Chain A
Amino acid sequence: MLKQAILALALGGAIMAGPCTAHAKLQSSSPAKDAQLAAPPKALTLTFNEAAQVAVLKLTSGGKEISIPVDKNAKAGPSFTFPLPALAPGSYSVQWTAVAASDGHVTKGSFAFSITA
């Protein structure tokens, strides 16, 4: 009886599982990773592989953080766009933290871009 239960459990799990939609990964961004821009971008867009909420967004340049308001009450979604202030030429680093809507998992990432003129 116990053996049958164990076998049923193991097979049941193997059969019933489907495609895995795990934690939120950054699929693309605008500006893109390592982009070299001729003009400052007006907005920063993050696109994830699944619905998520952006918890933290930090934009830094030359060691200084540039304030970007993040609405933590925004509904979960796959894409978020954040208006940017006027940015001077230079190198920028974006650090983000997101919470996946499907499993509550927190993911972090970063990427850089630069403005040449």
Chain B
Amino acid sequence: MELSGWDAAAVCAKAVTYAATLGAAGAIFFLAYSGSLLDELLGSRIRRLAGTLLVAAALASCARILLSGASMSGDLAGMFDSGSVRMLLGAGEGRATGMRMTGLALAALALPSNPRFRALALLGAATAAISFAGVGHIRGLVPNAAPLLLLCVHLLCAAFWLGALGPLLMAARDGRDTRVALLAARFGKLALGVVVLQLAAGAAVLWTLIGDAAQFWNSDYGRLMALKLLMVSALLSIAAVNKLYLTPKLLSGHAKAIIQFRRSVTIEMVIGALILLVTATFTTVTGPPH
């Protein structure tokens, strides 16, 4: 698999789009289910984080299309080639990007502290998260209704999980151990079911993409998928440590638990970012072999 500089730039833009969109959606979900555990200050900081990620997601989505144009032609001129951009938008990117922008705009309703528009904001966050199913390899399956639904479930769960890490880290940096413990416990309780659902949906989607297993795992796509699965395993291990070991320590007021928790969440964020980068790579420059 050879990557030009423009290919790499397009992949990075896609990874940033994933991270910012899923991060924003997850932060908005976090605000909704954490509710009374958040004081005004922390709630305000998380809303600012969500706002920053919403803007980043919108900008990255636009940059991705332009960089895809450059990747197609292999030069800078491709970014400004209206024909190539029109082709990309017409083949599915337009649908996915339009859905994402609509979702991001609705999700912005979560930014004021008034909860009046919370339901719409949650709908917007969910719409933005599942927008990535608007284009890509799953779309090419025949039939594709069930695999698309599974992919949407996978994306929503990913947003829930990865998008909670930023707010949890913010809470952990506040130094109020009891609140962090309660937030981590609430997240952990919900995350158990969400992660199982995410893995099941992801496994089912993967099943639909594998034709000849030997051919699949020997392909560039299969090798990158294997790398993703390895990193997901690492993430699951850390999440298990957080839930089963660190959260009880936080709840019992153990002295160093908050520092260990901050470190653990930071590592989860780094691995999560790498997972998104690998996913962006195999969904951009390769494809399932059959």
Could you list which residues of chain A lie within 8 angstroms of chain B, going by C-beta atoms?
2, 5-7, 9-23, 50, 53, 55-56, 72-73, 76, 95, 97, 99-108
Residues of B within 8 A of A23 (CB): 137, 140, 287
Q: Is B209 in contact with A106, judged by CB distance below 8 angstroms?
A: no
Residues of A within 8 A of B74 (CB): 56, 95
Given contacts A17-B146, A72-B86, contact A9 B153 (CB under 8 A): yes
- Give 5 A-B pairs besides A9-B201, A22-B290 with Cβ atoms closer than 8 angstroms: A10-B204, A13-B204, A23-B137, A56-B72, A73-B83
Q: Is A56 in contact with B92, judged by CB distance below 8 angstroms?
A: no
Residues of A within 8 A of B83 (CB): 55, 72-73
Q: Is B72 in contact with A102, judged by CB distance below 8 angstroms?
A: no
Interface hits, B58-92 → A, CB 8 Å: 68, 71-74, 78, 81, 83-84, 86-88, 91-92
Residues of A within 8 A of B93 (CB): 104
The segment from B122-130, B177-185, B192-200 found at the interface with A is B192-200
Distance of A12 Cα from B143 Cα, bound (Å)? 12
Distance of A72 Cα from B142 Cα, bound (Å)? 27
0 or 1 for each of B132-168: is its CB under 8 Å from A? (1 = yes): 0001111111110111001001000000000000000
Residues of B within 8 A of A13 (CB): 146-147, 150, 201, 204-205, 207-208
How far, in Å, is A70 (CB) from chain B's closest CB? Answer: 8
Q: Is B248 among interface residues, defined by CB-CB distance under 8 A?
A: no
Q: What is the total number of residues of chain B having a CB less than 8 Å from a CB of chain A?
A: 47
How far, in Å, is A110 (CB) from chain B's closest CB? Answer: 10
Residues of B within 8 A of A76 (CB): 91
Distance of A2 Cα from B201 Cα, bound (Å)? 13
Q: Is B240 among interface residues, defined by CB-CB distance under 8 A?
A: no
Q: Is A21 in contact with B142, judged by CB distance below 8 angstroms?
A: yes
Q: Is B72 in contact with A17, judged by CB distance below 8 angstroms?
A: no
Q: Is B288 among interface residues, defined by CB-CB distance under 8 A?
A: yes
Given contacts A103-B92, A106-B68, contact A16 B140 (CB under 8 A): no
Q: Is B211 among interface residues, defined by CB-CB distance under 8 A?
A: yes
State which of B68, B142, B197 has its C-beta within 8 Å of the C-beta of A9. B197
How far, in Å, is A95 (CB) from chain B's closest CB? Answer: 8
Given contacts A13-B146, A23-B287, A99-B87, contact A105 B204 (CB under 8 A): no
Q: Is B200 in contact with A105, judged by CB distance below 8 angstroms?
A: no
The 10 closest A-B pairs by CB, nearest first: A13-B204, A104-B92, A72-B83, A17-B208, A16-B146, A103-B140, A104-B91, A23-B287, A102-B140, A104-B135
Q: Is B141 in contact with A18, judged by CB distance below 8 angstroms?
A: yes
What are 29 A-B interface contacts by the 8 Å CB criterion? A6-B196, A6-B200, A9-B197, A9-B204, A13-B201, A16-B147, A17-B208, A19-B142, A20-B137, A20-B208, A20-B209, A20-B288, A22-B290, A23-B137, A23-B287, A53-B91, A55-B87, A56-B74, A56-B78, A72-B84, A95-B74, A97-B73, A101-B91, A103-B92, A104-B88, A104-B93, A104-B136, A105-B137, A106-B88
